[in-house]
Amino acid sequence: MKNFEDDFYRLLHLLKTGEPFAFNRFSDGELYMLQNKEVILGDHMVKIGDRVEKGPYHEEDFKRFHPEEHAFYRDRLIDAFRFTKNNYFKGLSCRCCVGEENFSWQLEFHGEYDENFTWANLLVNGNYPKFIREMYPVFNDYKTVFICNRKNDLSVMPFVVKDFRVGYNAMVNDYGLIEVIKNWIDENKVEGHLFLFSASAFSKMAIYQLYEHCDRNTYMDVGTTLNPFMNMRLDRTYLKSFWLGAKGEDLKKICIW
């Protein structure tokens, strides 16, 4: 049986020893896109398929996926989801967070079981204190490239030597940036760097394509975990609990496989 904490320490060990890997996260938003459901995150509305809820989402979180209009990007997301390679870790939405039906759907849609399956939530919930206290300091050992929203402030992270910026709905509007990053890697012979991604669904396609292109770097989807260091909102429950002491159970949650 897979263990939530053991998988975290598996990645931490790779980071500490300098062995390149990729950690790609397919959370609920990507799950719905893979299921070819319409996804809209906007000012005043959240729409997932036929389900509509009130917003708001902030500009950096805006997202729009329409199955017919954006079929090309879904295909690239499928490529990232089904790709297999040594040290390419795929974080799935776990059964305790999206339910048994959705969890099983991911495994069936993927096909052959991948030994590098792990949790999309691997760096958050009960593992988040360990991420901040044990993994984040290791980033200082790397020349780090950050791919993130144009609003992010990276000035308090001295290990960042290069950044690439995206806007809203980056998986569509900034897709071409992947080739730009590939060219930068090739032209500068970039190896042994750490690439951190906080760019929603764009991250999934980029991490896959970049690791396939050059597996001598490490590529990690860190999601919203570093928001406190980038002058971004602490609007996720696990962030409020850790940084602001707000009540909540997220930091006690050990996700199950």
> Can you give the pLDDT at residue 51?
66
> Can you give the pLDDT at residue 200?
93
> Can you give the pLDDT at residue 41?
75
Q: What average pLDDT score do residues 191-208 get?
A: 98
d(CA 165, CA 149): 5
- pLDDT tens-digit profile of 217-251? 999 999 999 999 999 989 899 999 999 999 999 99
Are 48 and 237 contacting, i.e. CB atoms less than 8 angstroms apart? no
Picking from 59-68, 80-89, 113-122, 126-135, which range would have the lowest pLDDT averaged per residue?
59-68
Of the chain, the end-to-end C-alpha distance in Å amounts to 8
Residues forming a β-bridge with 45:
54
Mean pLDDT of the chain: 94
Q: How confident is the model at residue 98 (pLDDT cuts 50, 70, 90)?
A: very high
Q: What average pLDDT score do residues 106-129 get?
A: 97
Percent of the chain with pLDDT over 90: 88
Kindly give the interhelix angle for 100-110 and 71-82, rounded to the nearest 10 degrees: 80
In degrees rounded to 5, what are phi and psi of residue 13?
Answer: -65, -45
User: Is the pLDDT score of 199 beyond 60?
Assistant: yes
Q: What average pLDDT score do residues 90-103 get?
A: 96
- pLDDT tens-digit profile of 131-171? 999 999 999 999 999 999 999 999 999 999 999 999 989 99
DSSP symbol at 166: E
- pLDDT tens-digit profile of 17-64? 999 999 999 999 999 999 999 988 765 556 666 565 665 555 556 778
Residues forming a β-bridge with 164:
147
Q: Kindly state the helix (H) or strand (E) to which residue 54 belongs, with its residue range.
A: strand 51-54
> Can you give the pLDDT at residue 1?
82
Please give the model's pTM, rounded to 2 decimal places.
0.94
Percent of the chain with pLDDT over 70: 92
